[in-house]
A and B are shown apart, each in its own frame.
Chain A
Amino acid sequence: MSNDPARGRVDLDAASSAPLHPAAREVLQAALERGYADPRRLHGSARDARLLLDNAREATADALGVRPDEVTFTSSGTDAVHRGLLGLVRGSRRGDIVVHPSVEHSSVLHAVAWGATGRQVSVDSHGRAHDGDLVQEAAAPGVAVVALQTANHEVGTLQPVGELELPSDVPLFTDACASMGRLPLPDGWTVAAGSAHKWGGPAGVGVLLVRKGARWRNPFPGDDRIDERITGFENVPAALAAAASLQAVVAERDRVNPEQHALIDLVRDRVAREVPDVEVVGDPVDRLPHLVTFSCLYVDGEALVHELDRRGFGIASGSACTASTLAPSHVLEAMGVLTHGNVRLSLQRDTTRADVEAFCDVLPEVVRELRGRVGL
């Protein structure tokens, strides 16, 4: 079983966070020794740190197919989303409206609420935004940016990022946090954001990509660091480890993705067949390779998380009772699908077929037991 064989635990919550990729482990250790100094200074240790930071930027650019000067390391994926999106709003000559689908990540919704005017478009039952709706809204006066995620973080559905034909002065911001590393970046964006701990890099590293020549203006106070798009002292070792992990994930993905896609097909199929009154949601084909979401009627989401955890399976849930806000997932709500009894399962890179089969073996019994508690 993956992750922690000694305790027989299976972490099926990669979309929340992945363990450090083995390829990043030694890099991080070495960079902690060599990369502690201030990369802005001119002495030997500082030059070492600067070299490592430049290496991290080049390796990241190479893995993502962008220019090194388009790469900024932020303090998180959320920070990359906030800076990326609000910087385009600040740079716009048209206004401050952000057109976005209702299923964007909360970091996008919070950024819009803080520093822009939101205009939401609806999604279909798979959670996919219609490109025509976004393009039509984008042409309205006052629209600064269109924000569209590469893939939905909760249900896995891929979005039509590369298919949008926007007015030339309305840039596209894409939140690529759910897919970066696992899938190539789509075409057509001006600014993109990613999060290292979702691809097996360390937490506390986000990636902000700003295309050369983009009208992007720093929406927050500036600083006098190496990279003018960010503030604060660079976390050089973590950035380098994130880059090493990203390179490894990109190198592995042609092998890993088809395997994971097939394992998720297996989960979708077995859950739908073996659990009565269940709704498996998200696009079954055009989706992230490693993620599936389903909801079980009459089941308390919090109890489901705890019961599965007790049996050794770590999963996430979008049900209201599992959320700090006590509101159901805005993604499930926008799709009009059942919000209670919700499970989001996402595979780690070393999750095996046996792990997945074991999960599918225990699920029907857990659901039956929880329904039994309420007499159904």
Chain B
Amino acid sequence: MNGYKSRLEPGSGELPEPDLELDCRDMRCPMPVIELARHLGDVEVGQVVGVVAHDVAARVDVPAWCRMRDQEYVGEDTADDGAPRYLVRRLS
């Protein structure tokens, strides 16, 4: 899931650039999600956090976290080095 397709969400156009990027490249589950929970409050409501993680569980667990914590999962793109990046908008 990289390149052209992953940068487009159906109906919402281009994915936003995150206001804060979390480097979780070397972390294993559940650490990327824990980092996300710790740092969501570092951005304002409406802003976007990008979780950069190689751990394959993050692809499932970041959207699941958003559903459980009533935050918005925006989609997946890639960081500058090509690592998967999961975008989350703070809703509350």
Alpha-carbon distance A337/B63, docked complex (angstroms): 9
Number of A-B contacts (CB under 8 A): 64
Instruction: List the A side residues contacting B28 at CB < 8 Å.
Output: 320-321, 326
Contact B34 A320 (CB under 8 A): no
Contact A337 B64 (CB under 8 A): yes
| Contact indicator per residue, chain B 19-44, by CB within 8 Å of chain A (1) or not (0) | 00000000011110110011000000
Chain A: interface size category: 20 to 34
| Contact indicator per residue, chain B 36-77, by CB within 8 Å of chain A (1) or not (0) | 011000000000000000011101110111001100000000
**Contacting residues of chain A (330-366) with chain B, CB-CB under 8 angstroms:** 332-333, 336-341
A320 interface neighbour in B29, B33, B38, Cβ under 8 Å: B29
Q: Knowing A333-B60, A338-B61 touch, does A298 contact B33 (C-beta < 8 A)?
A: yes
Contact A338 B65 (CB under 8 A): yes
Contact A332 B60 (CB under 8 A): yes
Contact B64 A300 (CB under 8 A): no
A374 at the interface (CB under 8 A from B): yes
Question: What are 19 of the A-B contact pairs (CB < 8 Å)?
Answer: A279-B68, A297-B30, A297-B68, A298-B30, A299-B30, A300-B30, A327-B56, A328-B57, A333-B59, A337-B60, A337-B64, A338-B65, A339-B61, A339-B64, A340-B29, A340-B30, A374-B31, A374-B34, A376-B38
Given contacts A277-B69, A340-B61, A341-B30, 20 further A-B contacts (CB under 8 A): A279-B64, A295-B64, A297-B65, A298-B34, A320-B28, A320-B29, A320-B56, A321-B29, A328-B56, A332-B60, A333-B59, A338-B61, A338-B68, A339-B29, A339-B57, A339-B60, A340-B57, A374-B34, A376-B37, A376-B38
| Contact indicator per residue, chain B 70-87, by CB within 8 Å of chain A (1) or not (0) | 000000000000000000
Contact B37 A320 (CB under 8 A): no
A319 at the interface (CB under 8 A from B): yes
Contact A338 B55 (CB under 8 A): no
Contact A336 B60 (CB under 8 A): yes
Q: Knowing A277-B68, A320-B55, A320-B56 touch, does A336 contact B63 (C-beta < 8 A)?
A: yes
